[in-house]
């Protein structure tokens, strides 16, 4: 009997990104690391301030949102967006990393 083994390894390599969190971190209700530990770890790695939002939901437990994002977008708008569009894509044991793009238009007219 002649037995042959073949292996194939594929790797994607990129630089470690600092900060490791862009705009929002969505923590599932049963994520392997909780909000307190995650916030402490992020605080050690980066200086940007993040706000914590507790979510009363069967899938999503917590959000960590970069404070600069909350200056441009209403907290309720972000929460609604995540509940409507991100929640269906995740399980309660996951942690998702979001990069948000937003555009604000300001129009001033003088009478």
Domain-located, residue 17? no
Structural domains in the chain (count): 1
Q: Which residue has the tokens 């993040």?
A: 50
How far is the C-alpha of 97 from the C-alpha of 95, rounded, in Å? 7
Query: How far apart, in whole angstroms, are the C-alpha atoms of residue 95 and residue 11?
Result: 22
Whether 7 shows a pLDDT value over 80: the answer reads: no
Is the confidence at residue 58, as pLDDT, over 90? yes
What CA–CA distance (Å, rounded) separates 40 from 45? Answer: 9
Q: Which domain holds residue 84?
A: 24-98
Q: Identify the pLDDT of residue 16.
A: 56
Do the domain assignments include residue 18?
no
Q: Is residue 54 assigned to a domain?
A: yes
Residue 108 within any structural domain of the chain: no
Q: What is the pTM of this model?
A: 0.72
């Amino acid at each position: 009997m002649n037995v042959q083994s073949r292996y194939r390894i594929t790797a994607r390599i990129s630089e470690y990104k600092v900060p490791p969190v862009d705009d929002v971190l969505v923590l599932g209700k049963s994520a392997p690391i909780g909000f307190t530990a995650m916030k402490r770890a992020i605080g050690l790695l980066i200086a940007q301030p993040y706000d914590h939002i507790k979510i009363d939901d069967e899938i999503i437990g917590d959000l960590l949102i970069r404070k600069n994002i909350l200056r441009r977008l209403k907290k309720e708008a972000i929460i609604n967006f995540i509940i409507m569009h991100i929640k269906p894509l995740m399980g309660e044991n996951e942690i998702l990393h979001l990069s948000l793009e937003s555009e604000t238009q300001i129009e001033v007219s003088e009478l």
